[in-house]
């Protein structure tokens, strides 16, 4: 449901940030700090969050549909 998608989204974001922290060590490029940066216009940040959240939801729904169709045809 929606709570699961919300949890997956936040987990994916956490994993991405941790991976960026690991990969940016010693490069002099502060990727992780840029991701964690809070924008001045919170409205735009919330809109971007909704877009990313909805895109993830669409991808998960499409994947579930494909898996269900595959299982139907496999029977």
Q: What is the pTM of this model?
A: 0.46
Tell me how far apart the alpha carbons of residues 43 and 26 are, in angstroms, rounded to a whole number. 34
Q: How confident is the model at residue 54 (pLDDT cuts 50, 70, 90)?
A: confident
Q: Where are the domains of the chain?
A: 2-74
pLDDT digits (tens, 9 = 90+) for 17-48: 777 777 666 666 566 566 666 667 778 778 87
Max avg pLDDT among 14-18, 35-39, 71-75: 71-75
Backbone dihedral angles phi then psi of residue 9, each to the nearest 5 degrees: -60, -50
Residue 69's pLDDT is what? 92
């Amino acid at each position: 449901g929606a709570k699961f998608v919300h949890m997956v989204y936040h987990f994916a974001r956490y994993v991405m940030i941790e991976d960026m922290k690991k990969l940016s060590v010693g490069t002099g490029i502060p990727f992780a700090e840029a991701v964690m940066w809070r924008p001045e216009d919170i409205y735009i940040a919330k809109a971007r969050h909704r877009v990313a959240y909805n895109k993830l939801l669409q991808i998960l729904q499409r994947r579930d549909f494909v898996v269900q169709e595959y299982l139907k045809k496999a029977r």
